[in-house]
Amino acid sequence: MPSFRIEGGHPVNGEVTPSGNKNAALPLMTSCLMTDEPVTLHNVPDIGDVDTMRSLLESLGVEQEPLGRGSLRLRSHAAVPGRLDPELCRRIRASILLAGPMLSRFGGIDLPPPGGDVIGRRRVDTHLLALENLGAEVGYNEREFHMRAPGRLRGGKILLDEASVTATENAIMAAVRAAGTSVIRNAASEPHVQELCHFLNGLGAKIRNIGSNTLEIEGVEQLHGGEYTIGPDYLEVVSFIAAASVTGGSVRIRQAAPQHLDMIRLVFNRLGVDWVEKDADILVAARPPLEIQSDLGGFVPEITVMPWPAFPTDLVSIAIVVASQAKGSVLFHDWMYPSRMFFVDKLVSMGARIILCDPHRCIVEGPTQLIGEHLDSPDIRAGMALVLAALAAKGTSTIRNVGQIERGYERIDEKLRQLGAHIERVDDSAADDAAD
């Protein structure tokens, strides 16, 4: 697997356009199973997770036609329930998003356990309870889930026991073609959940209260085909904001959908980071050294993740790197995943002053001069955080296992090079030579 070799200390400057939202693309791709008419998606990111989802859909008989860069036509008129490759399902968490569409259209699915990032236990109970409320029967053995919907799914009242994004999406897709009306409470409301709702409504679904935590869905007999352009990945947008901030650079991010970043901006303001909105673009200007804003009375501030529209868990790793370059102290608390914080030992090896209090909390004191190091990317978000740390570091860093990063970031090394970053892609043998 290739690695990134990064020479730090060079400001990133220029203009960049983020790719489409991975977390929108994946459920939109699975929802093509709910209609036998063609569905065309634009701004689909060319990343590892999308490739895996395409393979899963292909195994179910979904026809796929690339229409140029970022555009894909999907048609499931010949799709049939089939046995899914357990290895493909283990590669991505989003494989579980096949459950709702397959139950809705075909009345059943045998689904191997989903995989994804290793950031702690990621329960699927919320999905199963939601689907059972719509009339699905669920069994499980050590190898797969057996889901059946005798007759058509029935509308129902669903109270999710956690505001899970993928469980909300599964419930939405199952309820759209269920008989009767469904109400989903404690629903997730992230931008990609909203995109799924708008897309399905464009295919003939009847979803109301989009963007709230209570969705009302009137079931329909069938959906027709359609076309949709996926919005920008706000996680990638924030990654470029962070890259400019830790390197002292100036970046214009085109078509960044700043309307989704209000809470993220509040949190990054506390780390000394800000930007200017110009229409759909974001401008990050070179600023004085970063400084953490203390709580009233000089107390150490705490940044805690919460469901949308609060600060998302997927940005904690990046925020920690930004904090390591800011003057002051801050406590980060991610109660959602017990292994999210375990990557900070890699930052400590680079010279960061971070105290890991427990699996969910760490204290960051900055600023510190990071030093180049040879590291392995543990997951998508931590991997991107290590890239940012390497950009800010003195000397050269090698980041291995970049396939993890490229599951969620399209051509990230090319985009950073266009901004002036000294980053190159090398094969494993060259990376090993550099580490010796």
Examine the pLDDT at 118 and tell me if it is beyond 60: no
Question: Which token pair is 350?
Answer: 């680079």
Section 257-273 average pLDDT: 96
Q: Do domains 3-19+232-435 and 22-229 have the same CATH topology?
A: yes
DSSP assignment letter at 18: P
Section 253-262 average pLDDT: 96
Q: What is the pLDDT at residue 433? A: 54
* Separation in Å, CA 99 to CA 114, 190, 281, 289: 11, 20, 37, 48
Instruction: List 64's β-bridge partners, or say none.
Output: 74
Of 49, 117, 233, 379, the catalytic one is: 117
- Between 338 and 127, the more confident residue is 127
Section 58-75 average pLDDT: 93
Q: What is the pLDDT at residue 432? A: 55
Q: What is the pLDDT at residue 134? A: 95
- Distance CA(17)–CA(70), nearest Å, equals 13
Q: What is the pLDDT at residue 121? A: 45
- Distance CA(404)–CA(397), nearest Å, equals 17
Q: Which of 310, 62, 57, 23 is nearest to 169 (CA)?
A: 23
Q: What is the pLDDT at residue 151? A: 82
Q: What is the pLDDT at residue 120? A: 39
Is the distance from CB of 4 to CB of 413 less than 8 angstroms? yes
Residue that has been written with the tokens 């203009």 in this structure? 15
pLDDT band at 139, cuts 50/70/90?
confident
Examine the pLDDT at 44 and tell me if it is beyond 90: yes
Where in the chain are the domains? 3-19+232-435, 22-229
pLDDT band at 173, cuts 50/70/90?
very high
The rounded percent of the chain whose pLDDT value lies above 90 is 81
Q: What is the mean pLDDT of the chain?
A: 93
pLDDT band at 430, cuts 50/70/90?
low
pLDDT band at 216, cuts 50/70/90?
very high
Concerning whether 427 is annotated as a catalytic residue, the answer is no
Q: What is the pLDDT at residue 391? A: 98
Q: What is the pLDDT at residue 84? A: 87
Q: What topology is assigned to 3-19+232-435 in CATH?
A: UDP-n-acetylglucosamine1-carboxyvinyl-transferase; Chain (3.65.10)
CATH architecture of 22-229: Alpha-beta prism (3.65)
DSSP assignment letter at 315: G
Is the distance from CB of 61 to CB of 34 less than 8 angstroms? no
Q: What is the pLDDT at residue 210? A: 97
Instruction: List 397's β-bridge partners, or say none.
Output: 6
| pLDDT one-digit tens code per residue, 346-375 | 999 999 999 999 999 999 999 999 999 999
Examine the pLDDT at 431 and tell me if it is beyond 70: no
- Between 150 and 12, the more confident residue is 12
Q: What is the pLDDT at residue 114? A: 83
Would you list the DSSP string of 54-77? HHHHHHTT-EEEE-STT-EEEE-T
Question: Which token pair is 396?
Answer: 């050269």
Helices (H) and strands (E) in the chain, counts: 14, 23
Section 186-209 average pLDDT: 97
Examine the pLDDT at 117 and tell me if it is beyond 50: no
Answer positive or negative: Cα dihedral of 193, 167, 54, 135: negative
Would you list the DSSP string of 121-153? ----HHHHHHHHHTT-EEEE-SS-EEEE-SSS-
- Distance CA(321)–CA(125), nearest Å, equals 33
Would you list the DSSP string of 175-239? HHTSBSEEEEES----HHHHHHHHHHHHTT-EEESTTSSEEEEE--S----EEEEPPB-HHHHHH
Section 411-423 average pLDDT: 97
pLDDT band at 193, cuts 50/70/90?
very high
Q: What is the pLDDT at residue 383? A: 95
Burial environment of residue 229 by CB neighbours within 10 A (0 to 12, 13 to 18, 19 or more): middle
Beta-carbon contacts of 348 under 8 Å, excluding residues fewer than 6 positions away, are 354
Would you list the DSSP string of 341-397? GGGHHHHHHTT-EEEEEETTEEEEEE----B--EEE--SHHHHHHHHHHHHHSBSEE
* Separation in Å, CA 178 to CA 125, 211, 361: 21, 21, 42
Is the distance from CB of 329 to CB of 368 less than 8 angstroms? no
